[in-house]
Structure 1
Amino acid sequence: MSIPPAMFRGLSAFPITPADPHGRVDTDALVRLVQRLAAAEVDSIGLLGSTGTYTYLARAERRRAVEAAAGSLRGRVPLIVGVGALRTDDAQDLARDAKAAGADGLLLAPVSYTALTDDEVFQHFVAVAGATSLPVCIYNNPGTTHFSFSDALVARLSKVPGITAVKNPAPPPAEARARHEALRARIPSSFAIGYSGDWNASDAVLAGGDAWYSVVGGLLPEATLRLLRAAQAGDTAEVAGWNERFQPLWELFKELSSLRVMYAAANILGLCRAEPPRPILPLPSAAYPRVAAALKRLDADGH
C-alpha cells in the first residue's frame, strides 16, 4: 500500500461541515473552507471528523461532502475521511463510499451505544480496514465514544494490514513525553502517533508526536501551522508564545466546547453561515464578543 508521506503527519486540519437544518450539506461553503486550508498548505484535511459532525449526517450527505471536497482538492492535499458508524457493515459501506468519492485515508472511531470490549473493537477495525485499500487511522476519542484505547490494543491493531496511525487525546504536558514514549516502544516505527485536544497538542508534538489533528486548524490554518512548526522544530519559547496567544480560544473551547465555538468563529469571520446540527444549539449571541476577541488576538490569519 502506498501512503503519501504527509498522510498522518504534520497538521491535519478539521473543518466544520456546513449544512442546512435538515442535514443537507452546503457543498459550496464546504469547498470554500477546504480550499482555504489547501491554500494555507496544511499537511492534510480531516473531513467528517467530530468537528465535521459526521455522526449527524446521512450516508448520502457524507458521500456528497467527500465528493465536493475531493473534487476541489484534486490531490493537492491528502484528504482523510471519518467513517465511524454504529454498525460494522455501515462503517464498511462508508469506507467504500469515501474511497470511491476520492478520499486518501480513513479515520475510524468505535462509535457505540452498548459499551464495547477490546475484542469487539479489534474485530470492528479489522473488518473496516479490510473493506478498502485506504490506510486507516485509529480515532481514539473517549469523550464522544466512551471507549478508550489502551496502548496494548493500539499495539495489537498496529499489526493489522492497512492500520497505520492513531489519533490520541493529547495528555497533560507533564505526562506527554512519558506517555508518548511508552506507546512508541510498543509499535512499529512507521506507525504514526498523532494527537488531538488543541490546548495540549503542541506539547505532545514537542514530546515526539507525529501529527496534530486540529479543530482550530480547520478555520485558522496559518496561526495553527505556526504553532505546530515551532513544536516540530523543538522551539519551546516560540510554542509558549503562540500558546499564550491562543489561550483565550483554548479557554472558550474548554468552557463552551470547541464545536460550538468553531461554528461561531466561522460566522464571525464570514467564512459561511451555519449552525451546528440539532439538538446542539449555537452559542448565544452574548458569547460572540468573547469569540471575536479571541480571534482578534490571533489576528485571525496568524500575522
Structure 2
Amino acid sequence: MFTGLSAFPLTPTDENGIDERAFVGLVSRLAAAGVDSIGALGSTGGYAYLSREQRARTARAAVEGAGTTPVIVGIGALRTLDVLNLAADAQTAGAAAVLLAPVTYQPLTDDEVFGLYETVTAELSVPLVVYDNPGTTHVTFSDELHGRIAALPNIGSIKIPGIAADDAPARIAALRAVVPAHVTIGVSGDWLAAGGLLGGADAWYSVLGGLFPESALAIARVAQAGDQAAAAASDRLEPLWALFRRHGSLRVMSAAAELLGLVSSPNLPLPLLPLDPASRRELDAALGELGLAQLT
C-alpha cells in the first residue's frame, strides 16, 4: 500500500455539496487501472474546504468505488480533537490508512507537531502517512522531527515534497537513516517524482495519477525498475507540469476532468476559481498533444 503509485483524485464540489456519483466514477477508474492505492481527501481532494459530514461521506464513497484497492483518507484539520474525529470516521468507512498533515493557523513548534502525531497514532487501528507539505502548512519537518514521529506506533509512510533528481539519492538516504525500516518514503511534486523514485523513494503520491493513472503508472513502474527512461517519460509531460507550476495542480486537474467529461462545472469550492479561458485552452491543447484528451 505504501509503495508504487498512490493516486489522488479530485473531489468534485460546488456550493451545493459533493457530486458523489462523479467522485465514485473517478475512484473506480483508478482501481480499474491498477494503481497501488488511492488517496482520498488529500490536497487535490480539497479536504480543508469540507465539513466533517462531507468528509465522512466522501471517505465511504471512496472505499465503495475502490473495491479491493486500498484507500488512504486525509484527516488533516486545525484542532487535534477534529483530527481524532476524522480519523474515527475514516476507519469506520473502511479506510486502509490515513494521511495527516499538520494543518496550521498559528505556527506550530516541533513539540506541538510531535504531540499531534503522538495523540492521533495512539488512537488508530490503521497505519498513518505523515504528510510533509511545508508550502501549504508552513510546517518544516527537520530530519530529527521525522525520526521522532516515525518511531511512534502506526506510522507507515512519509510523504515528502518533491526533490530535484540530482539531490534525491542523498536526501532520501539521509531520511532513511533516521526512520525505522518499515516506514516507507514517498515523494510528491509530480514533475519531480520520477527523479525521486529513481533516487530511492518507495512511492509516488500522485496528482497526475488521480486522473491519468495509466500515464503515471507507466512512469512509476519504469522508475521502480531503476530504468532511467522514467525521467524521459516524465519530461515528455512538461506541458502539463508547466501548467501545474503556474496554476496549482488542483485547478489544472479540475479543468482536465471537465474537458474529459468526467465532472461537471463548477467543481471547486469557493473561493477557488477555475482556470481562466486562455489557460483552459492551453491545457486542452496540451492534453491533445500528449494523447491524454480521450478516455481510455
What TM-score does the superposition give when structure 1 sets the normalisation length? 0.94
Q: 1:38 aligns with which of 31, 37, 49?
A: 31
State how far apart, in whole Å, the 2-side matches of 1:88 and 1:219 are.
Answer: 31
- Kindly indicate whether residue 168 of structure 2 is the aligned counterpart of residue 176 of structure 1: yes
- Kindly indicate whether residue 270 of structure 2 is the aligned counterpart of residue 270 of structure 1: no
Q: Is the 8 A contact 2:132 2:140 kept in 1?
A: yes
- Kindly indicate whether residue 114 of structure 2 is the aligned counterpart of residue 137 of structure 1: no
Q: 2:238 aligns with which of 244, 247, 255?
A: 247
Give, in angstroms, the shift of residue 163 of structure 1.
Answer: 1.1
- Kindly indicate whether residue 15 of structure 2 is the aligned counterpart of residue 17 of structure 1: no
Supply the AA of the counterpart residue of 2:246.
E
Alignment of 1:82-231 (within 5 A): 82-231=74-223
Listed as ranges, the gaps of 5+ residues in structure 2 are none
State how far apart, in whole Å, the 1-side matches of 2:284 and 2:220 are.
Answer: 23
Supply the AA of the counterpart residue of 2:57.
R
Give, in angstroms, the shift of residue 302 of structure 1.
Answer: 9.7
- Cα RMSD for the two superposed structures: 1.3
Q: Percent identity?
A: 51
Q: Is the 8 A contact 2:25 2:65 kept in 1?
A: no
The answer for the alignment partner of 2:54 in structure 1 is 61
Q: Is the 8 A contact 2:186 2:205 kept in 1?
A: yes
State how far apart, in whole Å, the 2-side matches of 1:72 and 1:14 are.
Answer: 13
State how far apart, in whole Å, the 1-side matches of 2:104 and 2:65 are.
Answer: 33
Q: 1:261 aligns with which of 246, 252, 255?
A: 252
The answer for the alignment partner of 1:3 in structure 2 is none
State how far apart, in whole Å, the 2-side matches of 1:172 and 1:9 are.
Answer: 20
Cα 1:196–1:172 shift into 2, 3 Å = same
State how far apart, in whole Å, the 2-side matches of 1:297 and 1:224 are.
Answer: 17
Listed as ranges, the gaps of 5+ residues in structure 1 are 1-6
Aligned length: 294
Q: Is the 8 A contact 1:245 1:297 kept in 2?
A: no
Q: 2:273 aligns with which of 263, 281, 286?
A: 281
Q: Is the 8 A contact 2:157 2:186 kept in 1?
A: yes
| SS of the residue 2:99 aligns to | strand
Give, in angstroms, the shift of residue 171 of structure 1.
Answer: 1.4
State how far apart, in whole Å, the 1-side matches of 2:46 and 2:115 are.
Answer: 25
